[in-house]
């Protein structure tokens, strides 16, 4: 029987399996390397003044930004996590004493009465399933980040920076018209500035 899966779905499935196969030590080493790369690239990414950063709680083998989050807290940078609201994302303040709820996908979100929109942030660090050196991003397929930042122009805040393991790089991604471009992609061993 021939598979009728969309090529993006097939690629998504393969790359998710690859990142899930990384050991706990590989995951931790990757998270530590992200911080080093982030700090080294602050000036080249024009990120000298950052007040608000959105990141995510890792899930399904995603590279974890938890060490980046701790760095932000040490620098008195406010951190936010995405919260599913309908078909888009809002951003809730994240701190060590956040109170949690689970969203429709079983992912924890901070409970709050106050949310920010994406354009109120300086930087959004977002997870990737796959990426290419042209700045293409393959997400989980829900389109939440794409809808949230659909009207964002390239030169306005926030900076959209994808985080991924090196093993998630592919030569070229099939990009769709609705895919929101990133300004950079950061892996443990590479920075792609678009």
Q: Can you point out the beta strands (E) in the chain?
A: 52-54, 78-85, 88-94, 100-102, 108-110, 115-116, 123-127, 130-131, 137-138, 159-163, 184-186, 191-193
Q: Using one digit for the tens of pLDDT, what is the confidence trace for 42-76?
A: 766 667 788 999 999 998 999 999 999 999 999 99
Domains of the chain in start order, with CATH, are: 7-193 (3.40.50.10420)
Q: Using one digit for the tens of pLDDT, what is the confidence trace for 83-125?
A: 999 899 999 999 888 888 888 888 889 988 889 999 999 999 9
Which pLDDT score is estimated for 18?
93
pTM of the model: 0.89
Q: Region 145-168: what's the mean pLDDT?
A: 89
């Amino acid at each position: 029987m021939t598979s009728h899966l969309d090529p993006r779905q097939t690629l998504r499935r393969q790359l998710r399996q690859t990142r899930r196969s990384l050991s706990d030590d590989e995951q931790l080493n990757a998270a530590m390397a992200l911080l080093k790369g982030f700090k080294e690239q602050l000036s080249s990414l024009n990120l000298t003044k950052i007040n608000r950063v959105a990141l995510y709680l890792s899930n399904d083998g995603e590279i974890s930004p938890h060490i980046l989050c701790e760095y932000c807290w040490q620098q008195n940078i406010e951190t936010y996590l995405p919260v599913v609201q309908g078909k888009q994302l809002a951003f809730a303040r994240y701190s060590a004493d956040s109170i949690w709820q689970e969203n429709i996908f079983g992912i924890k979100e901070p409970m709050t009465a106050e949310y920010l929109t994406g354009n109120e942030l300086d930087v959004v660090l977002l997870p990737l399933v796959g990426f290419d050196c042209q700045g293409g991003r393959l997400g989980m397929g829900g389109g939440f980040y794409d809808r949230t930042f659909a009207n964002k122009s390239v030169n306005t805040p926030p900076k959209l920076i994808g985080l991924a393991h090196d093993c998630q790089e592919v030569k070229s991604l099939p990009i769709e018209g609705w895919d929101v471009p990133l300004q950079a992609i950061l892996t443990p061993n590479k920075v792609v500035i678009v």
